[in-house]
Amino acid sequence: MAASGKQITVALGIDPGLANTGWGIVERDGSRYRCLAYGCVSTSPDMELSRRLKKIRDQIAAVIERYRPTCVGIETVWFGQNITAAFATGQARGAALVACADAALAVGEYTPKNIKGTVVGTGDADKHQVQYMMKQLLGLEREPSPDHAADALAAAMCYLLNNGPTSRDALR
């Protein structure tokens, strides 16, 4: 609880991917939002699949241990045209969700269109627009990079803006 009596919530956002799983930590204090950290878990295609998934789980668990979020916003798998890529993304998503379950985090699952619509205002926003809006909404000096980390920050913001006493209107 903040000194002002307002509830502080720390959310983890995850943009899953087998090659790159973005993560971001956003703190909400009343109607104020602050980026605590962001990054990306990268795995090599030369690694055995089980090792890649373990690395994702272990590194997401380390982020959870360090920042102690109470909730997570995670992107759902989008199938599109490439079923093979969607399957690999689903495996990475599962590894990240195991780390979240181990920490008993509340989970919000959002489609890419829902996340973009929440933070940009249109579900058809491109990666640069998401990066730009994360810079603006979180008061960052520069756009978060790589784009996987920006997408993860957007997933955390989506959770915070859709769950709790503060609505998107508070950002205006």
Number of CB atoms found within 10 A of residue 162's CB: 16
Q: What is the DSSP letter of 80?
A: T
Among the options 15, 27, 147, 151, which is catalytic?
15
Catalytic residue, from 27, 147, 148, 151: name it: 148
The half-sphere exposure of 36 on its side-chain side, counting CA atoms within 13 A, is 21
Residue 38: closest CA among 25, 29, 27 = 25
What residues pair up with 67 in beta bridges, in sequence order? none
Is there a catalytic annotation at residue 148? yes
- Tokens of residue 161, six digits: 């803006």
The reply to whether 48 belongs to the active site is no
Active site (annotated) includes residue 128: no
* Residue recorded with tokens 């269109």: 113
Three-state SS for 79?
A: coil
Which residues participate in catalysis according to the annotation?
15, 75, 148
